[in-house]
Amino acid sequence: NDLIVLDKLTMSAPKTKELVSMLNSLNADGKVLIVTDDNNVQLSARNLAKVKAVPVNGLNVEDAVNYGKLILSQDAVKKIEEVLA
């Protein structure tokens, strides 16, 4: 499993093509789980069969294990740390 942490994970508009481009630049192929509270990223991922985007409070162990790559923003990591601390 791969873990990718980005400084920022937002999109100005829900565009699947832009999300695909970002995933390609990160070499994120196969099953990808994106953890972000950005609604535009979540909407963009809906059209991609092997990509799932969830808000931070929607992250669960089953999804984290079942997806080959996990992409999070720094903000998401901080929120997860707060919950687990």
Domains of the chain: 2-84 (3.40.1370.10)
Q: How many C-beta atoms surround the C-beta of residue 73 within 10 A?
A: 21
1 pLDDT more than 60: no
pLDDT tens digits for range 25-38 = 999 989 999 999 99
52 pLDDT more than 80: yes
Mean pLDDT of the chain: 93
Q: So what's the pLDDT on residue 29?
A: 87
Q: Quote the CA–CA distance of 85 and 55 in Å, as a whole number.
A: 19
User: Alpha helices of the chain — where are they, by DSSP H?
Assistant: 16-25, 39-45, 61-66, 74-84
Q: How confident is the model at residue 79 (pLDDT cuts 50, 70, 90)?
A: very high
Backbone angles phi, psi at 33, to 5 degrees: -110, 120
Q: Quote the CA–CA distance of 35 and 14 in Å, as a whole number.
A: 16
Residue 2 per-residue DSSP state: E
Give which of 44, 16, 33 is closest to 73, Cα–Cα: 33
